[in-house]
Amino acid sequence: MKKIIVSVFLALAYMTSPAIAQEFTEKYRPQFHFTPKANWMNDPNGMVYHNGIYHLFYQYYPNDKIWGPMHWGHTTSKDLVSWTEQPIALYPDTLGYIFSGSAVVDKNNTAGFGKDALVAIFTHHDPVQEKQKTGKHETQSIAYSLDDGKTWTKYKGNPVLQNPGISDFRDPKVRWFEPQKKWMMTLATKDRITFYSSPDLKSWTRESDFGANEGGHGGVWECPDLFPIRHEGKDVWVLIVNINPGGPNKGSAGQYFLGDFDGKTFTPNSKETKWLDFGTDNYAAVTFANTGDRNILMGWMSNWQYANQVPTDPWRSANTIARDLGLKTVGKEIYLTSFPVKELDGLNGSGFSQKNVKVKNQLDLTGRANNKTGLFRLDFNAKNTADFAIVLANESGNELTVGYDKATNQFYIDRSKSGKIDFEKGFGEKHIAPRFATGTTIPLTLIADVASVELFADNGLTVMTDIFFPETPMSKLYIKSASGITVENLKYTVVKPSVR
């Protein structure tokens, strides 16, 4: 009972805390994806569910809209779709900038800060030492909050994990490992992952390394995550490793490994390099802590290849829609699936559905959709696989194409004619993704905001997230197929802007 009262109180406190008034009328401003009101944002950090509130912290530079000395910005939500920006949680200090990391709920008061304290575990990045090339400029530190994330106190004994001489030594993701009653830290250490354990979040012991000879190595390993998902009667451990550059369509991307974890060592069950998302705009994606059986993923909807140049003002970057993760066996392999959280349905507006639609050449949905803003969700099953494309277009002649190519058995997103592309030479390209599912019907969900599309094909077996910058809203919508397809269970839904 006491717990319920506390959570109701905290939920109310957050609701009534002065929400930062925002018009959100600026060009390219996403309407149902989180963006900071102003200035630079990158990775999601410290995502944790506590007392009825989802907390999202993020890499933030409050003085400019390019990357700079990193802080942890903070925003909260009750439903993962409507966010209220909160005051900055962590500021740089004498140990350095506040780089990426995670947060946990210390239910057993292992650290001694208080029962149920929120504890943030992050990287201190010291720019002075970086210049001196000591190779030891990144260390791990902690901070705690006893008022549900409103204010934070940095631990006096920081850093809690010194650097042994590895130039990239960062982005701790911590979780409780119940079988051995200890904390596990998954840390990105240049070209591999190092696991550490701790009884109290303050003293850490190295357990093992993973990955020097596994997966993609086209860039540095960053922002990892480790958690189990129950699949066919047993726990499969998922190890997410973000990598920059070296993604499947260039630049930044997230790969993952599946296997076993025994509190010391991660043992992969496959040699295949697997990707969370084949689009170019889902980086540093990790999961929320303390969400029970749900594993909820959210990423930074940009790419280091052009993040500092995207034509938005006065802010830069948005996050992806939150996604529930699952596992699916296809042949001998298991893959991760991601699908938009059901909470997104709370934004559903008007729409229409149709059972069986034959598409030969072109089906123009613009009139029925009657949607000037171009914020929508489209679900359908494409029967008897053949080439097809979904085209978003506008009055300015911009086009964004999301499609399936039967000959190569690939999905794609082509943003080469999608509007403003000239701010970076590699931006206006076509991105491709393999199809893993084998059925002749392709179920498909597409989520479109002002400046992004997120494709969930085959119930989330193949995912692509791409941003784009149309000159005017993408108010026109077509399904095209030269050879012809039958579209089953077509459902078009307007997505309303989220409340801020």
Question: Where on the chain is the footprint of ligand FRU (CB under 6 A)?
Answer: 42-43, 59, 70, 99-100, 123, 170-171, 222-223, 284
Strand ranges for 190-314 from DSSP E: 192-198, 205-210, 220-231, 234-244, 253-261, 266-268, 274-275, 283-287, 296-300
Cα 66 from Cα 316, distance rounded (Å) = 8
- Is the separation of the CB atoms in 100 and 284 below 8 Å? yes
Q: Which of 462, 484, 457, 458 is nearest to 386 (CA)?
A: 484
Q: Which of 288, 307, 186 is nearest to 245 (CA)?
A: 307
Residue with smaller CB distance to ligand FRU, 43 or 458: 43
Give the shortest CB-295-to-ligand FRU separation in angstroms. 21
Give the shortest CB-123-to-ligand FRU separation in angstroms. 5
Residue with smaller CB distance to ligand FRU, 69 or 349: 69
Cα 271 from Cα 274, distance rounded (Å) = 9
- Is the separation of the CB atoms in 73 and 92 below 8 Å? no
Query: Could you give the 3-state DSSP secondary structure of residue 342?
Result: helix
Rounded to the nearest 10°, the torsion over CA 398, 402, 404, 407 is: 40
Cα 54 from Cα 48, distance rounded (Å) = 6
Residue with smaller CB distance to ligand FRU, 171 or 214: 171
Residue with smaller CB distance to ligand FRU, 222 or 277: 222
Residue with smaller CB distance to ligand FRU, 33 or 476: 33
Give the shortest CB-171-to-ligand FRU separation in angstroms. 5
Write out the two tokens for 205. 């012991």
Count of Cβ atoms closer than 10 Å to residue 382 Cβ? 24
Residue with smaller CB distance to ligand FRU, 43 or 225: 43
Give the shortest CB-362-to-ligand FRU separation in angstroms. 40
Residue 346 backbone phi and psi in degrees, to 5: -60, -15
Cis ω for the linkage preceding 314 (within 30 of 0): yes
Residue with smaller CB distance to ligand FRU, 99 or 376: 99
Give the shortest CB-436-to-ligand FRU separation in angstroms. 27
Strand ranges for 147-219 from DSSP E: 153-154, 169-177, 182-189, 192-198, 205-210
Give the shortest CB-109-to-ligand FRU separation in angstroms. 28
Longest dimension (CA), the chain: 68
Residue with smaller CB distance to ligand FRU, 285 or 442: 285
Cα 230 from Cα 63, distance rounded (Å) = 44
- Residue in the structure block whose two tokens are 């400029």: 137
Cis ω for the linkage preceding 159 (within 30 of 0): yes
Residue 289 per-residue DSSP state: B
Give the shortest CB-42-to-ligand FRU separation in angstroms. 5
Question: Could you give the residue numbers annotated as active site?
Answer: 43
Query: Could you give the 3-state DSSP secondary structure of residue 9?
Result: helix
Residue 93 per-residue DSSP state: B
Give the shortest CB-449-to-ligand FRU separation in angstroms. 22
Q: Which of 50, 486, 74 is nearest to 292 (CA)?
A: 50
Give the shortest CB-168-to-ligand FRU separation in angstroms. 8
- Single-letter amino acid code for the residue at 192: R
- Residue in the structure block whose two tokens are 């902690």: 142
Residue with smaller CB distance to ligand FRU, 189 or 371: 189
Query: Could you give the 3-state DSSP secondary structure of residue 369?
Result: helix
